[in-house]
Amino acid sequence: MSEMTVSRVLRNRGEVSDKTREKVLLAARQLGYVPNKIAGALASNRVNLVGVIIPSLSNMVFPEVMMGISKVLDDTPLQPVVGVTDYIPEKEEKVIFEMLSWRPSGLIVAGLEHTDAARRMMENAGVPIVEIMDADGPAVDAVVGISHTRAGRETAKEILKRGYRKIGFLGTKMPRDHRARKRFEGFEAVLRENGLSLEAEEYYSGGSALGKGREMTASILEKNKDLDFLYYSNDMIGAGGLLYCLEAGIDVPGKLGLAGFNGVDLIEGLPKKLATMDSCRVEIGQKAAQIIAQEADGSAGAAPEKRIEISPIFAPGDTLR
């Protein structure tokens, strides 16, 4: 068997019979052989890696995005490599620099807000860039996400339609969580349009979201006894709030309505199903990976759509009257 044939099999290039391919791969496994991808990249100026840059792995949202990405890339030669930024713009800039230095086949980045240096690096990368999770703003290249401003507005309309008027907000501190900020702004805008404003607000940073949800709910209700609705910036603190209300004997949704955001699986196991809006995480991951895979394939065909806005659906659950 020639060196060229072995090389074709290991690089997955060229025509080789199934029997020969099997023999080469078996020998490679027995020898513990791992091909030098960097050497291959010197010739092609590209490696079969897709950088995926997300703010958190502890948040239940982003592992589900990764599931969507993996579902698509599993059927291609591309492999996702994850970088975590902790919502820190300077850390994101560093991760983008490191990812692009490997000349990946594409980059998937959560969010539309970046430092100027990070944006310039992505604009000059020469590979497909897909910003995900958010559709409220201009993109470097392609974008797949939802409008968080619209999500906040739609939630407020649903709440007002059901007669709630004394509304409190509970959420994370938002200077760096731009998607939560946009939902909050959309929510508040609808209240103003209807002659209302938030009666109370409670914020947290760090710690268990479920535990914080319980603490914040107890605190806001102690200080504001006439509230009839609590809007949570995410389902995890909303779930904690719901558990507190049920333990305290508060009539949900008769006396007090509750709603969160994200549509995480956790809420399916609660004594009552929290009202929420699905952020379409798996679908976003799939569509982003499809754009990267299609561009990396380079075969003839229609160019991928570069702006995909997904419409989340509000689910009233059991916590709205």
* 8-state DSSP, 265: G
Weakest mean pLDDT among 61-75, 261-275, 304-318 = 261-275
Res 133 pLDDT > 80: yes
- The structure tokens listed for 59 are 């948040």
Domain 45-146+281-312: CATH architecture, name and number where available: 3-Layer(aba) Sandwich (3.40)
Mean pLDDT value across residues 205-213 = 81
pLDDT at 264: 87
Residue 153: pLDDT above 90? yes
State the residue for tokens 């996400």: 145
Whether 177 shows a pLDDT value over 90: the answer reads no
Cis preceding-peptide flag for 253 (omega within 30 of 0) = yes
pLDDT tens, 62-91? 989 999 999 999 999 999 999 999 999 999
Crossing angle between the packed helical segments 281-297 and 61-73, to the nearest 10 degrees:
30
Q: Which helix (H) or strand (E) holds 81?
A: strand 79-84
Q: What one-character-per-residue DSSP string does 13-69 give?
A: -S---HHHHHHHHHHHHHHT----HHHHHHHHS--SEEEEEES-SSSTHHHHHHHHH
In this prediction, residue 23 has a pLDDT band, given cuts at 50, 70 and 90, of: confident
**What pLDDT is attached to residue 308?**
97
Query: What was the pLDDT predicted at 51?
Result: 97
CATH says 148-279 is which class? Answer: alpha beta
Q: How far apart are CA 159 and CA 140, in angstroms?
A: 35
d(CA 207, CA 316): 28
Task: Please write the tens of the pLDDT for every residue from 223-263.
Answer: 999 999 999 999 999 999 999 999 999 999 999 999 999 99
CB neighbour list of residue 103: distance below 8 Å, 6 or more residues apart: 41, 45, 46, 47, 127
Mean pLDDT of the chain: 90
Weakest mean pLDDT among 40-44, 67-71, 311-315: 40-44
- 9's enclosing H/E stretch is helix 3-11
Nearest C-alpha neighbor of 176 from the set 205, 212, 219: 205
Would you state the pLDDT for residue 41? 53
Q: How far apart are CA 288 and CA 308, in angstroms?
A: 9
Q: Tell me, what's the pLDDT at 34?
A: 58
Residues of the chain with CATH 3.40.50.2300: 45-146+281-312, 148-279
6 — pLDDT class (breaks 50, 70, 90): confident
DSSP assignment of 199-260 equals: SEEEEE-SS-HHHHHHHHHHHHHHH-TT--EEEESSHHHHHHHHHHHHHTT--TTTT-EEE-
pLDDT over threshold 90, residue 15: no
Judge whether residue 299 has pLDDT over 70: no
The residue that leads in pLDDT, 180 or 302, is: 180
